[in-house]
Structure 1
Amino acid sequence: MSHHDERTFVMVKPDGVQRGLIGEIVSRFEDRGLKLVAGKFVQLDEALAKEHYGEHEDKPFFDGLVEFITSGPVFAMVWEGADATRQVRAMVGETDPAESAPGTIRGDFGLDLGHNVIHASDHEDEGANEREIDLFFDDEELVDYDLDTAAWVYEEEDH
């Protein structure tokens, strides 16, 4: 992983999986030039769901979140690239799809706050990425490799 690269956690939620949007979502990040370093198709159990949404435990919508995220399989991923967390969040759009700009994932595929298709680590939450990546992936599941297209995505660095 080069020094300007960052890893970020992304998950296609059960509604995105059921609607057949995994490929479209993966394509958008690939098209942007980001590098997929891990992916896992998984059915979350209640324990993992509660840990994932731990920050919201005291909120009234917590049980609904847990129920929804465990209602079907999800596709968890780790993407790598320059400023990846912020870039992915910008591509994902606002939490409420109704407020998300067309062209963003939620703006293109969502209308409802509860069914917003995708989860991405928050760039404003220090440590969110690491916490969420560790929750879903073991170190050996994160693949370190060179993406041949990187030379065409990034300007060469001065050494």
Structure 2
Amino acid sequence: MERTFVMIKPDGVQRNLIGKIISRFEDKGYRIVAMKLMQVTRDLAERHYEEHRGKPFFESLIDYITSGPVVVMVLEGKDVVAGVRKMNGATNPAEAAPGTIRGDYALDIGRNVIHGADSVESAQREISIYFKEEELLNYEKVTEKWIYEYE
């Protein structure tokens, strides 16, 4: 099982989409191993978006992500990084397929509702920014035998 980092961005929180988005991940069968509602500080935002430092949109990105509460979570499951990225849809909502989170809920690339780590390495880095190791739970769900075929 791998883990990924997901953030419901300020526009998703303000638009009351938290429950709808979390339900999609739960319905898929992913396990939530950590979650919290929080206000992202400038320091956290700069660490999260470090790879965009120096780009023309960096300051507006930092201003946006710190503008209101977000929900951060760690999901666990088989190939969860790729699965969540597919469920989120294309970064630009105009290119996101119907049925994806961005395809269903977002219209503007600057307000695209959700973030998901783009690789296992990014997921590990992002998880460590927002969560302490002791905040990550290890547990089994009784439904997993109906979700995964174990050999």
Task: Provide the TM-score with structure 1 as the length reference.
Answer: 0.94
2:54 to 43, 58, 77: 58
Decide which of 89, 95, 98 is 1:93's aligned counterpart.
89
For 1:134, the equivalent position in structure 2 comes to 128
CA shift, 1:11, in A, is 0.3
Matches of 2:148 and 2:25, distance apart in 1: 15
Shift of 1:156: 2.5
Pairwise CA distance, 1:127: 1.2
Q: Which amino acid aligns with 2:138?
A: D
CA deviations 1:94-122 (Å, max 9, x no partner) are 00011000000000000100000000000
Residue 73 of structure 1, aligned match among 60, 69, 75: 69
- Match of residue 148, structure 1, among 139, 142, 149: 142
What's the offset of the Cα at 1:58? 1.3
Q: CA RMSD in A?
A: 0.7
What TM-score, normalized to structure 2?
0.98
Residue 98 of structure 2: aligned partner: 102
1:116 is aligned to 2:112? yes
Secondary structure of residue in 1 paired with 2:142: coil
Alignment partners' CA distance in 2, 1:148 and 1:64: 44
Aligned residues with identical type, % of pairs: 57
| Aligned partner letter, 2:109 | L
Deviations 1:114-143 (A, max 9, x none): 0000000003xx510100000000001001
Give 1:28's match in structure 2, choosing from 3, 24, 28: 24
SS of 1:79's equivalent?
strand
Counterpart-to-counterpart distance in 2, 1:155 and 1:51: 38
* Counterparts of 1:148 and 1:68, CA distance in 2: 39
